[in-house]
Each structure stands twice: as structure tokens, then as C-alpha cells.
Chain A
Amino acid sequence: MPASTISTASPSRAASYDNAKVVNRFDLTKRLVAKLRKDEAVIGGIGNTNFDLWSAGRRPQNFYMLGSMGLAIPIALGVALAQPRRHVIALEGDGSLLMQLGCLTTIAALKPANLTMVIMDNGLYQITGGQPTAAAGIADYVALARAAGLAKSAWAADEDDFDSLVDAALAEGGPTFIAARIDDKPGVGTTDRDPVQIRERFMHGLGVRARP
């Protein structure tokens, strides 16, 4: 009986930290961006997460966060609450999430159906010199998210599974929490660091500002 239960479950739900393949952040980011057809908003967290988002192709619906480590998911929540018909995706690193774990409980309480969180977990503060986080190899972010009240939380078993999880998040609604184990390759490229320009372009992209 347990075997049949497992076979009918989504393979993604069966993935765990231990059996998840170590994949590449830029590859996953490109896969994610390629799926976006409805002007979905994407919030890139500090450092490599938004460097890879930038390098995956500029979109006016992308927001690049240059400081405020840990706030990519809260920013995405704010956009999701303001525009319930637009899907919003937060791309965040494991160290950043660790700074703001409490935001998962806020999201679990508010249940925004149009919010997806993607956590890129390499267990490192990569941009500051690759120091391991306190949680590396100890804490399981998907288990933490589930315990915070986010039932739709899963490890990506590999690249194809990541694709399936993103497809499901966009189609079925959430909130959805997807974590992927990634390697320690640095981000590709560097975001232009002009906060006002980033915000204005994003607001144009969200239809809040008229086109110039």
C-alpha cells in the first residue's frame, strides 16, 4: 500500500534535500523566465539572485533588490497583495531567507494565491566569500516552510522537476514555495545599480505608471 501511495503522488512532492540534484542558479533562472507569458512580476533578491535574473533577460516586470537583504519575499508579497490578478515570483537565496524566516508565517496567514517563492540553496553566503550559513546541512528549508504553514512546499528533484513545479505554481495557484539545491558558481553579469530607474521601470511594467 505504501508503494501505491508513493506512485500516485507527484514525484516533486517525494523529493527531499538529500535526493535533490545540485543544479545551477542561472540555468534555473533562465528556465523560469522562459515560462513567463503573462507579464508575471519577478523580484530578485540581493546579489547573485538578481544578477542572474538580470542576465536571464531584461523584462520591465523584473525588480532588482540592491540592499535590504531578506526583503525580496516581503516585496513580492506586497506586489501580490496590490495586484491579485498578476502572478508574482520571488527569487531568493538561502542566507537571505534565513534573515527573514518570519515572513513565511505572514504569507501562510494571508494565503496569496498569486505568490511563488523560489529559494536557491547552496548553503553559502556566496558573495561575501563563500562562508557556510549556520543552517547549511542542518536545516531543511522546505520543512521549515511547511511548518510555517505553507503546504505547497517542495524540493526540486532536478531541472525537469523544477520546470514542473513552476508550471504547477503558475497554473494552480499558491502560495507555493520551491527550493532548489544549487552549486557555488558565481552570478552571471551585474545588475545596473540605479534604484530609481529600477523602480520606475518596474512600475511601468506593472501598469502603475503610464508609458513615458
Chain B
Amino acid sequence: MDNANPAAARPWYEIVQATLKRNDVKLVAYVPDKVFTPLIKNLHADKDFLTFATAREEEALGILSGAWMGGRRGAVLMQTSGFGTIPNALASLVVPYQIPAIMFVSERGTLGEFNLGQALVCRTMRPVLESLAVEHHTITRHDELEFIVDRSVKQSIATQAAVAFILSPLLTGGKVFEK
């Protein structure tokens, strides 16, 4: 994840925050993830954003759907296992009603996972997205992050279609076994 380009000195979470703000995506609902800790902390500190926790990820998708219909753009942050709880909300609300739900998933279950359950649920994520024809990008490179997020958020809104950004441990460092 180190990058030789000095222009890329900003950490990934600052790029995500700035790109969301530039695209007027200022409502952020989340179920926490360790990797997202600095992003969540900074979003809470930024009064341009309304940032709050929900009890479940599908609840967050409901809130985003209502907010979009009311004229406010939103994003949801979740971990891989959280994604495993939302296929019904995607298939019966977000996709058929054409809601541009912007989803960030912190990828667990690969590149050094220590929990078998996380590794298995990770295997279900991309097949679900593929089967619903939901645009998704696995972001591994710091120098591609801003381009992918910026362009895909714009595409999501212009085409009224959901998008999922899967943030790889190659980008974020991931969660490592600390005993």
C-alpha cells in the first residue's frame, strides 16, 4: 500500500471522505469495522456530514433509500460479514426501485484472515453482487482509489444504480491477527 507518488501522501480514508464530500454524499450510516475506525472518526468530526451507526446493515440501506427519494445522497459502511446480511434488501428494495446506494465494504476473509467464518462469508460477496448485476470494484491500489470512487459515485447517481466498493487489505492494511 506504500506509494512512491508524493501526491498520494493522504491516507485512504481522507481520500474517501473528500471524494464523498465533493460528490455531495453527506449522509453516512454504518455498522462499524476496525479498519474503518479512522474514517468513521473523521466523518463524525466533520459537521458537513451526518454520520451515525445503525443496528443492522439492511437498516442502513433502508435509510439510504428513503434519503435518496427525499433528495439526499448517502453511503453505507460495513464489513464483509455485514454484506452477508443484505442480499434481500438489495434484491427487493435497492435494485428493483433503482436506488443509487453507495456501499463501502471493508474486506475481511482474505490476505491473512484468521477467522474461518470471515473467510467463508467473503466468498459469497462477489457472487451476490454479480447475480444482481450490481457494479462493484475491489480497490487494492492507493493511486486508483480517488478515480474509482469519484467516477463510480457519479455513475451510480447518473444511472440510479447501486455500487459497492470493496476495500482490500492491500489498500487499508486490513485487520491482522494480534492474539
- The answer to whether A103 and B92 touch across the interface, beta carbons within 8 angstroms, is no
Query: What 0/1 readout, one digit per residue, does chain A (78-119) give for beta carbons within 8 Å of chain B?
Result: 111111001000000000000011110110011000000000
Asked if B120 is at the interface of the complex by the 8 Å CB criterion, the answer is: no
C-beta contact mask, B36-53 vs A, less than 8 Å → 1, else 0?
000000000000001011
Q: Are B67 and A78 in contact (CB under 8 A)?
A: yes
**Given A103-B55, A195-B96, A83–B71 Cβ distance below 8 Å?**
yes
Assess A63 versus B93: contact at CB under 8 Å? Given A78-B62, A102-B59: no
CB within 8 Å for A82 and B71 given contacts A66-B92, A109-B52: yes
Write the nearest CB–CB distance from B150 to chain A, whole angstroms: 23
Residues of B near A66 (CB, < 8 A) are 92, 96
What are 12 A-B interface contacts by the 8 Å CB criterion?
A66-B92, A68-B93, A70-B58, A75-B63, A75-B69, A78-B68, A80-B66, A81-B66, A83-B70, A83-B71, A100-B58, A206-B70
- The answer to whether B147 has its CB under 8 Å from any CB of chain A is no
Number of A-B contacts (CB under 8 A): 125
- Tell me the A residues contacting B by CB distance below 8 Å: 41, 43, 63, 65-83, 86, 100-103, 105-106, 109-110, 195-196, 198-199, 202-203, 206-208
B63-87 interface (Cβ within 8 A of A): 63-72, 74
| Chain B residues within 8 Å of A86, by CB | 70
A71 CB contacts on chain B under 8 angstroms: 58-59, 61-62, 65, 89, 93
A74 touches B66 (CB 8 A): yes
Question: Which one of B59, B64, B69 contacts A100 once the chains associate, using CB atoms below 8 Å?
Answer: B59
Nearest Cβ in chain B — how far from A206, in angstroms?
6
- Which of these, B62, B64, B88, B98, contacts A196 with CB under 8 Å? B98
Cα distance, A81 to B70, chains bound together (Å)? 8
